[in-house]
Structure 1
């Protein structure tokens, strides 16, 4: 086999993992979320950017604030999930670049002096980090239910009223319930990959 990662880990992270629409009521601890973050923070991004910001929604009040902005099809499952994470991109991520990318401390000013460039880069690299976060959730033996069905402007105001963040996804997290979505088909290698 061409992969170094053993088959059981491949199954846990990809082949047997499913998007969960329901969860058991088993709680997800702060220690587990910290372990997930402490793993995925090492995944690569451009210039070592780390624009991802995470709001963990645990309280009834927080859940009420979140659910009111979710699309109708996402409200019930978000209400029932043991933990929900609002994942956003920090549009001012560049302020941390001198510390996070010390090999080129002037990158902050050379590449990200304009707000439009910062937003494009934070959105792209934040989305990459969202993917890593979901794989990290799976690595913890949990299921993730990522969603983009929400009022983004309302969530930005509700959880990041400073105008310096952009919500990218909302992810329900927990032990999967009995009706995780069945595996849907995927495109095959030859449908996706070409060589030039």
Structure 2
């Protein structure tokens, strides 16, 4: 498999930043579908795919989200063309007959303890949320991932059956470069990695 070009690596990593201000271009529904279709192809533990995603686009849906946002996240979220609620299904294992047909005992890998279920669901949705970011960037969008919201309120509003739990939010759109903060520092390799 060939390496990506420097321009592609810049778009995905080196020049990509967290955006907080957006121009007024809309994101077509087809682009949101493309993001999900790309992200779903990336790996999760045993192909468990516990992530569940709500693309909040309509004004009515934004207004349902608004009261659960921390004050400093209201403007940046309400002006974003789309906000993805990254969540996880606490009953993800019920879909493993479909997702892991190569193993008849896949369900048992994850259901030995409630802690295993919770850890797998959270880790998987976190991975899948990161894949959403990379897929969006690959399609020319900017991203603004964030915490800073009332998880219980979002869960009550968007996932009332109680089996799906929110993890984090990602604002999507076309960022305004002039309103970016200077890039924050990053560690040198030796400060956060080692090779053994």
Is TM (by shorter chain) over 0.5?
yes
Indicate yes or no: 2:104 matched with 1:105. Answer: yes
CA shift, 1:113, in A, is 4.7
SS in 1 for 2:165: strand
CA shift, 1:181, in A, is 2.9
* Deviation digits for residues 140-159 of structure 1 (CA, Å, limit 9, x no counterpart): 11111111100111111110
User: Could you tell me how far apart the structure 2 residues matched to 1:111 and 1:176 are?
Assistant: 39
* Greater CA drift, 18-27 or 180-189: 180-189
Indicate yes or no: 2:189 matched with 1:189. Answer: yes
CA shift, 1:111, in A, is 2.9
User: Could you tell me how far apart the structure 1 residues matched to 2:104 and 2:47 are?
Assistant: 12
CA shift, 1:70, in A, is 0.5
User: Could you tell me how far apart the structure 2 residues matched to 1:144 and 1:170 are?
Assistant: 10
User: Could you tell me how far apart the structure 1 residues matched to 2:195 and 2:115 are?
Assistant: 34
User: Could you tell me how far apart the structure 1 residues matched to 2:139 and 2:175 are?
Assistant: 12
Q: How large is the RMSD of aligned CA atoms in angstroms?
A: 1.4
* Deviation digits for residues 146-180 of structure 1 (CA, Å, limit 9, x no counterpart): 11100111111110011101101111110111312
CA shift, 1:188, in A, is 1.0
* Deviation digits for residues 49-68 of structure 1 (CA, Å, limit 9, x no counterpart): 11111111122221111011
SS in 1 for 2:143: strand
In the alignment, structure 2 segments of 5+ residues that lack a partner are: none
User: Could you tell me how far apart the structure 1 residues matched to 2:174 and 2:49 are?
Assistant: 27
Tell me what 1:35 maps to.
Answer: 34
- TM-score, L = length of structure 2: 0.94
Q: Is the 8 A contact 1:18 1:182 kept in 2?
A: no
CA shift, 1:195, in A, is 2.6
Q: Is the 8 A contact 1:92 1:164 kept in 2?
A: yes
